[in-house]
Structure 1
Amino acid sequence: MSLVIQEHARARLITDGPDPRPVPVELRYDPEQPQTVHVRLPGGADWAFGLDLLERGLRSPATRDDVRIWPCGRAQLVVELHSPDGVAVLQFDNAPLIRFLSRTGAKAAKRRPAAAPTATATATRA
């Protein structure tokens, strides 16, 4: 049984054009990197950053390194990814992100001994 959690979500790629373009996105959590979420975009681009950043971004604007996340209304979230090649702005519905975070939290709780303190999350970019 694989301990890796993968959640497929649909995001809208925000561009200068009149309509956002829907794109499939994969959210991935690996217990070997317990504080990290991986976001795989079409074309194979993979971004890694702290789960805590995603959690905070659901409630209020949060930034770490090349990743900015903020709520957009009551039911959506915007993720802005900066790279030397440019900026990608994605808009997500909250429901798949909350479901993903719930699954990762349950998995982390099963792996942690009862008396172990919670680890502090750190952000990395792949």
Structure 2
Amino acid sequence: MRIGELASLTGVSTRLLRYYEEQGLLRPARTTAGYREYGEEDTVRVWQIRSLLAAGLTTRVIGELLPCATGPVPVLEACPDLLATLRGELAELDARIDDLTGNRVALSHYIATAHGTDAEHAA
């Protein structure tokens, strides 16, 4: 199938499919005329990529995990370094959550302070 057909089947734009190819996540065959030719397995691969992106993983990490992926959801089979990679990503996510929580506390403090100032001026 051509790129437009894959885009229709997966709901992913042709531009994004080309980006996935640039990142090494998709590897379509080429016709003698140079057109991209995708197989049914590429439909599943796109769904896998979308699911892994939705989990907050980067395309670099997804590239490492795709050889371990089966099925459209995907299920990750045991591969070398798979757990270490996922644990590292989870640790980074936890650190970002901690940073955002600190940001939220600080912003809440500023709002409370500004609210107190507004109340003083209103009295």
Category of TM-score, reference length = shorter chain: under 0.3
TM-score, normalised with respect to structure 2: 0.26
Per residue, is there more strand in 1 or in 2? 1
Q: Which has the larger radius of gyration?
A: 2
TM-score, normalised with respect to structure 1: 0.25
